[in-house]
Amino acid sequence: MRIDVLTLFPEMLEGPLKASLLGKALAEGLLTVEATNIRDFATDRHRTVDDAPYGGGPGMVMKCEPLFAAIESLRDRNTLKRVILMSPRGRRLDQALVRELAQAPDLVLVCARYEGVDERLSDALITDEISIGDYVLSGGELPALVLIEAVSRMLPGVVGDWESVETDSFYTGILGPPQYTRPPLFRNLEVPEVLREGNHAAIRRWRRKEALRVTRARRPELLIELSEEDRKLLAEIEREAPMPEKENPT
């Protein structure tokens, strides 16, 4: 897969892209990420990329000309079938969207700064707008890196141990079970006996049950479309620790 990132701060991408699993995916050619500096497409003496908003108000807006020129410059390297604006107004990124994006041969990620981009960019060239969550950042660069890392994990060969992807929370749709490593006893804190005993069927059942328990406690909205086995495990959990009843005004 190829990802082109349009940004005023290409240096923000360098470190994270070099490190860890992403660095390895790039080195092995499983993924190509190229940053394009939008300022390189400004044509005036001051290389201007922003201007005051029509109608007044605070902040600046990214101008059309450099953004259009930067995107169109990618034409012979990128299909431009998905030109994504990273935007706080966008659709919230989740694992279903990550998997869909990972099917594409290439992506363009446009990172905005200031108060955003001229709306005519969205109208004419943007196919998707994506947010990474409801909090305010200063631009789209960190969201673009989040998207790239999440998408790259879905590409064949990037994560060595595919089992770790398939059993991942959010891939499976529920949170993950508690994890432990040696030593078995640390400051009076014990590793659960079932994990030390090596009965793999019992371990599998315990992990599924604990995953359901933590999901019920923290993210009950994720508990949809459960198997018969899951409903049995949840019923057990229910008996062990019933949810406190909501106050009933009648």
Active-site residue set: 88, 115, 153, 168
Number of helices followed by number of strands (H, E) in the chain: 10, 9
Q: H/E element holding 143? A: helix 141-152
In the bound state with ligand 21W, the residue whose beta carbon lies nearer, of 116 and 177, is 116
Least distance to ligand 21W, CB of residue 88, Å = 4
Q: H/E element holding 123? A: helix 119-124
Q: Which residues lie across from 83 on neighbouring strands?
A: 108
84 makes contact with ligand 21W (CB under 6 A) = no
Q: Are 39 and 112 in contact (CB under 8 A)?
A: no
For ligand 21W, the binding residues in 7-26 under the rule CB under 6 A are none
Q: Are 131 and 143 in contact (CB under 8 A)?
A: yes
Q: Is 8 helix (H, G, I), strand (E, B) or coil?
A: coil
In three state form, how does the secondary structure of 186-244 look? ECCEECCHHHHHCCHHHHHHHHHHHHHHHHHHHCHHHCCCCCHHHHHHHHHHHHHCCCC
115 makes contact with ligand 21W (CB under 6 A) = yes
87 makes contact with ligand 21W (CB under 6 A) = yes
Least distance to ligand 21W, CB of residue 162, Å = 29
143 makes contact with ligand 21W (CB under 6 A) = yes
105 makes contact with ligand 21W (CB under 6 A) = no
Options 75-83, 127-135, 188-196, 205-213: segment touching ligand 21W (CB under 6 A): 127-135
Q: Is 108 helix (H, G, I), strand (E, B) or coil?
A: strand
Q: What are phi and psi of 185, to 5 degrees?
A: -130, 120
Options 18-26, 71-79, 131-139, 193-201: segment touching ligand 21W (CB under 6 A): 131-139
Among 105, 133, 157, 192, binds ligand 21W (CB under 6 A): 133
Options 16-24, 64-72, 109-117, 242-250: segment touching ligand 21W (CB under 6 A): 109-117
215 makes contact with ligand 21W (CB under 6 A) = no
Least distance to ligand 21W, CB of residue 233, Å = 35
Options 41-49, 130-138, 189-197, 202-210: segment touching ligand 21W (CB under 6 A): 130-138
What is the distance in angstroms between the CA of the first residue and the CA of the last residue of the chain? 59
Least distance to ligand 21W, CB of residue 75, Å = 24
53 makes contact with ligand 21W (CB under 6 A) = no
Largest interatomic CA distance in the chain: 73
Which residues contact ligand 21W by CB under 6 A?
Answer: 86-88, 112, 115-116, 131-133, 135-140, 143
